[in-house]
Structure 1
């Protein structure tokens, strides 16, 4: 893996080949994570491309992407493995009907690998076609501190412990990417095991480059208006500012409607692609959308 990625420029080019545009800082930390085999912790606002970089790396390297979607109440069993109790019960009933094996032999059979339901963390420790997989631990900030503590063994030693089977260690450590929307602070002990990068909203030129990569069919004039309007919108007092993902979604909606230029009416009709809270949408009703659009056009005219 390290030999295939020779430089920061190579990482940026590799990601660009998957239509993922990243700056030098993110390219550098991604290069170091790949070269040193360290987990990469990406924190930032929703919709800024944290999850997407895992997909891009997996696709570029030809590796399997294994995603652990975090949520409140996530525990070790849901993240590592569970026993297929229904299949175990069938095996017990079958053994009883057949006269039954000895108790010790039956217990050994019940806790065999064939009754094991592997979840993302255990899957990531197994050998995969094409090499070690990319393990995406998405939105780690949604979990609680006990689960973070459990992850320390997995990320520190690349191993998981199953009481019935013992410790399973990865023959080749997976490429690990953790993301956080910072709804709460993640403990320092977990962050210390990772390389860290804050993924911020891109500036105008980079967001335009991203949009052109993801929606190349959009005309230059429309793309510039879209990006400038979203950038202006992020300066407003909104409950949830639109991310780059929303910019791309909005552009595709406009293209589906054969829009060639923004207007207050078009903005009102499609604002649900950008804003997801009614209070934010109401702020753009009436003359507010026209005011923002006029400011955007004046800015683009002088650029």
Structure 2
């Protein structure tokens, strides 16, 4: 800036006014300064500006797995709104590791981001609250805290799970297994509870040995489904924590020679793009992940601006999408179904 001022024959304050679009200088002076700026290739220092304004125009986005299409879509929604409003996004991948998640929350604090969005945190409430409150503004996606002034963007996991399990029951299934998610998953806990409640409401047996947790990935779903179906060949349907684990369950059924959906019906959750591409195409609960990302960024901006009184919690309702892996018909069993 000093070089620009010297070349243009003006003060540092005049250059600052020209750069920041202030009206206190003449058009002739502004044009002369802009010509020098172009010739010298001057760019304002973002670091200096952030120190002066206490505002960096950056936000942090922390996700569990950036290779998971669900979180990729959330990130795309966040980034689009950030771009539209002049913000840059630091994307942090925790890889389902709670130590890494805590470290990233601290690292983003050191970067002086204006706010953070945390997707599906695996931290306990205490450490998560401590990590969030050190930031000027924070929004949680698919996670809630009973204390602290943080916005939340949620999926109605209870509703989605009930619709999925009811669909299987209406198709004639009585032995329905559950490929559960990670034990620290907030959504996984809600879905597990809703799975059991729906079975009970239909007068069916709830068996702990028909539930098995695993990694929310294709490999994790395949491993979990293989174990569950080998131990319990009586199962005629599987409700899966997410679509990735459901795709893994399809692979497990193929390896075991169990036809889908005639021998085993499979239902996933999220409706990622892959769900419609596999064979047979997945029945699943559609979650608008991109819109969740947009809403999370809008909510964070409201918190940053201090105008979030009426937008603290946003809940998206999943939509059951019926495809070939669990159609609306009674299944053809290779054996007799287990009654409730």
Normalised to the residue count of structure 2, the TM-score between the two structures is: 0.28
Question: Higher relative CO (CA 8 A, sep ≥ 6), structure 1 or 2?
Answer: 1
Normalised to the residue count of structure 1, the TM-score between the two structures is: 0.31
> Which structure is larger by alpha-carbon Rg, 1 or 2?
2
Q: Which has the higher helix share?
A: 1
